[in-house]
Structures are given as C-alpha cells and as structure tokens.
C-alpha cells in the first residue's frame, strides 16, 4: 500500500504557459504538467510525476509481454565496437551510432538496439531444439545520434525502449512467435488508449523479411502512411508499393533527335513537346557506397531511396557532385542513359516496361525520342525503386487510390531470419543431432514515444485526460479549507480509505485558491477528482468528478473510494 502523495511536499511545478519551442499539443502538456524537462537537445529529465506515468506504461507493457510468454532479461547498453563490426551494422548505422573509446582506446558503442548482444547470450545458452521457441525482452535506455532531435519525446538521442527477440527452429514457428508479439502490441496500444494502424514497413538497417510498424495517425506526426480505403492496404511511405498509371501506348519507332533549347525540367520538356510526363524518362544521379549511379525512372515518378538502397544492397546514398557528373558524361537537364562512362545504371520498372520514352541525349538542349530499354540501352539492375504517393493506384485492389496520412511510429515488428545467428554463431541441434541456426524475430516499442502519444491522443483544452490504465495516480484529491477541523478529519479518513483500498492518490493540500487547484487537477488529468470541502461535507460527503467528462456529484466517502477503484487500472 502506498500512502497518498501530498502536493505541498512533492517535487512538481506546473506552468501556466508552455515554453515557445513546444509545437505539438502533447509536448506543450508534457512541459506544462511538469512531467519532464529538457536537459539538452534530444535529452529529457523526468520528474517524479513523469516517471510515475512512464512506469505505469512499462508495467502495462510487461503484463502483455509476460502474458504472451516472453521472458524479461537485461543486456548491457555499452557494447564493444568489434561486435558491431562483426555483424556489419557499425557501417549500416553510420552516423546514428554513438561511438566512444575506453582508456585503452578500444572502441565501444552506446547501443541503439540489441540483436548482437542477445545473439551472443543465445549462442552461449541455446543447445537443443527442445529449448525453442523462446522470446526474450528488456525495457532499457537506447541511444541514437539524431541529426535533428525535436518534437519533445518523439525524436530523442537517449530513449526508453522495450525490445524483444524471438528464436525459433524454423520460419513456420517464427510466424507464430511474430503473431504472438503482434497481438500483444495491439493489446498494449489499445489498453494505453492510443489508436494505431499496423502498416507494412521496410526493415531498414536491421535487415530481414516481413516487417510492420504500428502508427498512431496524427496530422502532426513525422512519419507518413499510405492507406487504401477500398481494401485496407496500409504501408509506410518508404515501403509502399503502388500501381502506376499505365504507359501511353506507342508503336516502336527509331530513336530520333529533337532540339529542346532551354528545356531543363520534366515539366518543361512535356510542355515543349506536348506530351505527358509519363512519356518521358527522368535521370537521377547519386553515389551509392562511393560508386557513381544513374537511375532512370518515368518522368511522373520520384525515386524512393530506401527501395533503391535495398535493391543495390547499399549502405549509403549521397547526391553526386558536379565534377563527378561531368566525368560520367552526364549533362544535367538533358541527361539520358546513352553514352555513359564508368557509371552503374539502374532502371525503375516503370521505364523498363515502357515503350519508347523521351530522354536526354547528354548534350545541352537535345533530347531523344523513342528511347527503349532493352533495345537502345540496358541497365545493370532493374527493380521497383519508385516512391508511392497519394493518388496513385493501390497495389492490392483494382479500384482503390492511395491516401497519405501523417502519424507517429510507436512500434515495429520484424522477421529477421538467421542472419545474426549465422554471423554470431547461434546454433541448435535438431532431433536427429544435426546443427542448425535458429531464425530470429525482433520487436520494439519506443516507451517515451508511447508516453508522448498517450498525451497526444488523450487531452482536452484543460489538460491531460489520462486513461486509467496509465494514469500516474488513480485519483486527485483537492482539499479546500483544510484549516477547519471537520475538513482535516474527512481528508484524513479519505486518505486512509484510499490507501487501504490500494489506490494511489495525489492530494492537493497546498495553500492555493480553489480556482488554481481545480485548474491544476484538470491539467494533471488523473481519472477522478475528489474534492473535500466544507460545502461538500455539508451535503453529506465528498465531491466526485470524472476527468473524462460528466457532472460533479456529492457522494458518501465509501462510495467515492468504490468509484475510484472501479475506474483504476482499467
């Protein structure tokens, strides 16, 4: 049993106005309610009240992970750099990886995720198929050198994360472990009062097969999801496929030079020739892992760098500088796939499948008509490297058009496969005594982000409206006129009854006006407000008001405690 927390002795400061840098409503309330305060860009300190909210969220996550059969453990946050070099991820993470050296100048990293560390542990423990499947998780601080930390708790350099890792004897078994985590995530977000959509996602620097993200749709979020209202297809913008508008039919014709003086963009080219953008090919110059790259894509589409990186297996993509452009024989504004030197050529499917398109001749002010992939030029690689966007056709159904929605990514689940097990030597013996590598899954929830999203999804003009499941306290008690003996006596009785019932209460015993106390109760947002005052006592009890809405009513003390217990914990 926890005794009630008295605000006169609590480490808490609420603010009338939010600091100017806070843009999102949830970020403003986080600061105004005194839950957290910035230490530096992307680094926040949590106050006792903020930490209570965080721990309630962690408890909810633990309950669902344990119920799904996962086992909690603890891995170090500091890893030898060698381990990350062995797995290939020191390079894949690039500048986002925090690196440091010990006193002997040996390299270390502050881990952004724990596939390597958990694989090392599994390698020393797992021996037989009888020990599989197993899912392990932890809730721990992670580190990421964000170039632009912002948005309060949304983009941090140090953040809390629940990360889980499953080990299975085969893909079918992994499908079941993955589904168990997927269902646990649905319950976690539902119980925390945060609506989410699950979208197909790219597996990024971590690598792997199936991958889905849980996104809280919110117009101010930084992530973008593409949704089909007709069939329910949902993917994040990096991953989304689409059905391109078909090419304009044309009979094969010989390549033809056409003078295009002063034309330097696709829009200008289409207008000059009186054709549609999808009858042209656009050239994009990049450098992939240091190698010059020419990407040809239909004029009405844009390159998706994530898909392109995946197609090439490249860790980095950068723009090509002017000198390299000239060396390759490319002419900006009139670039095309003919006559290139020392450049790798990639064709998007939109170009590879099209009849003759108009493309640059690599000569200023000149383009070529009827240029056909496979006849006039060939690419070193062909694939879908186009960016989906709102308005394009759905890849799954015939009639749907994609819609774009902004949101916040809160969770991510992956089927990793055997990659880490192979690299780091995790093996098990099957029933015939043969050795195999287990296949892995990994599953993450950003705990700070989830806290931010809970506030974002649960507030009104007065302040936070905590869902009872994650509220820092079960009740907010406002004491008015507590210098009067009958109020002091009733307050003591209420506090004792709440404590005896196992309920946690924040008691406003400060020397403040009733208006200021009620405003703070709304701002702090506990599910139930109980007011002990001479007026309420005169009417036979304490005043009870649910924060989520409904009128204040005066009820006997015992009934007030029972009502709080009904709402608490959800």
Contact positions vs Zn ion (CB under 5 A): 228, 230-231, 233, 394, 396-397, 400
Closest to Zn ion by CB, 344 vs 396, is 396
Question: Which three-class secondary structure state does DSSP give residue 272?
Answer: helix
The number of C-alpha atoms within 13 Å of 560 and in the hemisphere containing its C-beta is 31
H/E element, 294: strand 291-298
Looking up tokens 């005594």 gives 433
Closest C-alpha among 96, 100, 214 to residue 155: 96
Residue placing its CB nearer to Zn ion in the complex, 146 or 245: 245
Cα–Cα nearest to 469, from 194, 284, 133 = 194
Whose Cβ is closer to Zn ion: residue 217's or residue 314's? 217
Closest alpha carbon to 160 in 67, 49, 64, 44: 44
Closest contact distance (angstroms) between CB of 242 and Zn ion is: 10
The smaller minimum CB distance to Zn ion, of residues 236 and 279, is found at: 236
Q: Residue 241 CB, nearest distance to Zn ion (Å)?
A: 11
Q: How far is CA 477 from CA 168, 312, 507, 509, 564, in A?
A: 50, 61, 5, 8, 11
Q: What is the nearest approach in angstroms of Zn ion to the Cβ of residue 394?
A: 3
Distances (CA, A) of 128 to 62, 87, 423, 434, 435: 27, 24, 19, 10, 9
Nearer to Zn ion (CB atom), residue 386 or residue 524: 386
CB within 8 A of 453, min separation 6: which ones?
26, 194, 216, 218, 408, 410
Closest CB to Zn ion among residues 50, 400:
400
CB of 278 to Zn ion, least distance (A): 21
Q: Return phi, psi of residue 123, to 5°.
A: -60, -35
Q: How far apart are CA 52 and CA 469, in angstroms?
A: 12
**Choice between 214 and 233, CB closer to Zn ion:** 233
Looking up tokens 């976690």, which residue turns up? Answer: 188
Nearer to Zn ion, 34 or 395 (CB): 395
Q: Which lies closer to Zn ion via its Cβ, residue 397 or residue 562?
A: 397
Residue 228 CB, shortest distance to Zn ion, in Å, is: 3
Pair type for strands 381-383 and 344-348: parallel
Nearer to Zn ion, 393 or 467 (CB): 393
Least gap, CB of 239 to Zn ion (angstroms): 15
What is the widest separation between alpha-carbon atoms in the chain?
101
| Shortest Å distance, C-beta 235 to Zn ion | 11
Q: Residue-wise over 76-95: b if at least 16 C-beta within 10 A, else e?
A: ebebbbebbeebebbebbee
Nearest to 262 by CA among 253, 271, 251, 275: 271
Question: Residue 81: helix, strand or coil by DSSP?
Answer: helix
Residues 6+ apart with CB under 8 A from 231: 394, 396, 397, 400
How far apart are CB 393 and Zn ion at their closest, in Å? 8
What is the smallest separation between the CB atom of 214 and Zn ion, expressed in angstroms? Answer: 20
Query: Least distance in Å: CB of 110 to Zn ion?
Result: 42
Q: In the structure encoding, which two tokens stand for residue 501, read together?
A: 């019932």
Q: By C-beta, is 201 or 440 nearer to Zn ion? A: 201
Q: How far apart are CA 7 and CA 231, in angstroms?
A: 52
Min CB(350)–Zn ion separation in Å: 19
CA separation, residue 285 to residues 176, 289, 320, 329, 557 (Å): 43, 13, 6, 11, 73
Kindly state the smallest distance separating residue 401's Cβ from Zn ion, in Å: 8
Give whichever of 237 and 475 is closer to Zn ion, judged by the CB atom.
Answer: 237
């Amino acid at each position: 049993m926890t005794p009630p927390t008295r605000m006169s002795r609590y480490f808490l400061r609420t603010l009338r106005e939010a600091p100017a840098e806070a843009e999102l409503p949830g970020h403003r309330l986080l600061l105004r309610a005194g839950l957290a305060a910035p230490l530096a860009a992307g680094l926040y300190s949590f106050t006792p009240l903020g930490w209570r909210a965080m721990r309630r969220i962690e408890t909810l996550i633990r309950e669902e992970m344990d119920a799904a059969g996962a086992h909690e453990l603890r891995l170090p946050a500091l890893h030898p750099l060698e381990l990350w070099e062995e797995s290939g991820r020191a390079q894949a993470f690039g500048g986002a990886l925090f690196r440091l050296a010990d006193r002997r100048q040996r390299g270390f990293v502050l881990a952004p995720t724990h596939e390597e560390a958990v694989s090392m542990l599994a390698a020393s423990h797992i021996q037989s198929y009888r020990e599989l499947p197993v899912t392990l998780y932890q809730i721990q601080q992670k580190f990421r050198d964000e170039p632009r930390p912002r948005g309060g708790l949304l983009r941090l350099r140090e953040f809390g994360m629940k990360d889980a890792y499953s080990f299975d004897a085969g893909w079918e078994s992994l499908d079941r472990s993955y589904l168990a985590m997927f269902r646990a995530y649905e319950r976690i977000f539902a119980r925390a009062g945060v609506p989410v959509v699950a979208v197909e996602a790219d597996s990024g620097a971590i690598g792997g097969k199936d991958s889905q993200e849980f996104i809280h749709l919110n117009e101010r979020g930084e992530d973008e999801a593409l949704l089909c209202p007709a069939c329910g297809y949902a993917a994040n913008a990096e991953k989304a496929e689409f059905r391109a508008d078909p090419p304009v039919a044309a009979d094969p014709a010989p390549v033809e030079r056409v003078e295009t003086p002063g034309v330097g963009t696709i829009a200008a080219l289409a207008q000059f020739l009186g054709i549609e953008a999808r009858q042209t090919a656009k050239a994009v110059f990049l450098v992939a892992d240091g190698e010059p790259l020419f990407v040809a894509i239909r004029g009405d589409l844009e390159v998706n760098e994530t898909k392109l990186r995946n197609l090439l297996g490249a860790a980095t993509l950068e723009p090509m500088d002017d000198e390299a452009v000239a060396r390759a024989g490319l002419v900006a504004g009139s670039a095309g796939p003919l006559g290139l030197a020392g450049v790798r050529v990639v064709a998007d499917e939109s170009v590879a499948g099209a009849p003759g398109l108009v493309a640059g001749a690599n000569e200023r002010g000149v383009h070529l008509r009827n240029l056909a992939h496979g006849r006039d030029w060939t690419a070193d690689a062909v694939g879908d490297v186009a960016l989906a966007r709102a308005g394009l056709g759905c890849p799954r159904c015939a009639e749907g058009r994609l819609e774009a929605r902004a949101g916040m990514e809160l969770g991510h689940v992956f089927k990793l496969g055997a990659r880490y097990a192979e690299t780091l030597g995790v093996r098990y013996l099957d029933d015939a005594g043969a050795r195999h590598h287990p296949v892995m899954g990994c599953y993450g929830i950003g705990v700070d982000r989830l806290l931010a999203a809970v506030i974002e999804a649960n507030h009104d003009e007065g302040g936070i409206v905590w869902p009872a499941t994650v509220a820092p306290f079960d009740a907010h008690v406002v004491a008015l006129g507590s210098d009067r003996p009958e109020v002091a006596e009733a307050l003591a009785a209420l506090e004792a009854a709440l404590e005896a019932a196992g309920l946690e209460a924040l008691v406003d015993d400060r020397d403040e006006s009733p208006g200021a106390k009620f405003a703070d109760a709304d701002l702090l947002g506990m599910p139930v407000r109980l007011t002990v005052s001479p007026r309420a006592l005169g009417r036979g009890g304490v005043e009870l008001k649910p924060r989520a809405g409904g009128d204040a009513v005066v009820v006997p003390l015992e009934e007030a405690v029972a009502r709080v217990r009904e709402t608490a914990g959800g």
